[in-house]
Structure 1
Amino acid sequence: MNMTEISGDWKIIKGKVKEEWGKLTDDDLDVIEGKRDQLVGRIQERYGYAKERAEEEVAAWEKRDDYRW
């Protein structure tokens, strides 16, 4: 998927994001709006992860569920 596809399908995808990272709030998901860098940043913030760990988790999730942007 590219950024346009992610943005268009964000309402569907954000449910899957919430399943994966349950500490993210609905407000977090509204701010993220399909932006990968925002997702990584919010995961860092909510889980107390280093940027590298958050990046690794997002990359693994993207690969597993075929989400790329």
Structure 2
Amino acid sequence: FGQVAFFLDTLKQEHYIALDETGKTLITPDGEAFLFRFEENNHIKRYSKWVLPRSEMWSKPAGSSFIYIPKG
């Protein structure tokens, strides 16, 4: 959590994010321009960088003899 808080503070100091009147964090025009340049310079498709493929996070199909008993 400390690293995330530090990162968010840095983004605020650089004027890449800001809070609106309700307290919601929004990206600023400077932040949009920075992201656009970063994506172009690194040949990244928009938003593809946020979803990392991790095969270990996917559920494997259950076998035909598997019995699921939900907690409740």
Per the shorter chain, which TM-score range? 0.3 to 0.5
Q: Which fold has the larger relative contact order, with Cα–Cα distance below 8 Å and residues 6 or more apart in sequence?
A: 1
Higher share in helix: 1
TM-score (normalizing by structure 2)? 0.33
Task: Please state which structure has a larger fraction of its residues in strand.
Answer: 2
- The two structures have a TM-score, normalised by structure 1, of 0.34
